[in-house]
């Protein structure tokens, strides 16, 4: 079990792992408040992918990964969803908040 350093690589490989065998895949989150660490793990009993972070910004990315997995579980592994985090961040940045004036 080696930690993957890049978030984008972790997301893409995790989705590929889930799509290969959705019945055996597991997604686990572990948060240690005393250390301020968040560990994400995706496994299918043959391959294990792990990502560790201590940044609060990555917790929001984890929420997006949860939404990707929920969509894959609900619609099936063949569902055509966008996996790239860059597109999602750009879309979120372009949204305007309520009540803002320019």
52 and 36 Cβ atoms separated by less than 8 Å: no
C-beta neighbour count of 19 within 10 angstroms = 14
Overall pTM surpassing 0.75 (yes/no): no
What is the tens place of the pLDDT at every residue in 26-85?
999 998 888 889 999 999 999 999 999 988 888 888 889 999 999 988 887 776 665 554
Query: Hey, where are the domains in the chain?
Result: 2-83
- Architecture of the CATH domain 2-83: 2-Layer Sandwich (3.30)
Look at the block and give the residue holding tokens 């996996």: 83
């Amino acid at each position: 079990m080696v930690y993957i350093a890049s978030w984008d690589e972790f997301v893409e490989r995790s989705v590929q792992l889930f799509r290969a065998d959705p019945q055996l895949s597991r997604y686990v989150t572990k948060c240690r408040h005393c250390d301020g660490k968040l560990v994400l793990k995706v496994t299918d009993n043959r391959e294990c992918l792990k990502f560790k972070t201590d940044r609060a910004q990555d917790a929001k990315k984890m929420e997006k990964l949860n939404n990707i997995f929920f969509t894959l579980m609900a619609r099936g592994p063949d569902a055509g969803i966008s996996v790239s985090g860059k597109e999602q961040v750009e879309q979120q940045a372009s949204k305007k908040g309520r009540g803002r004036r320019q």
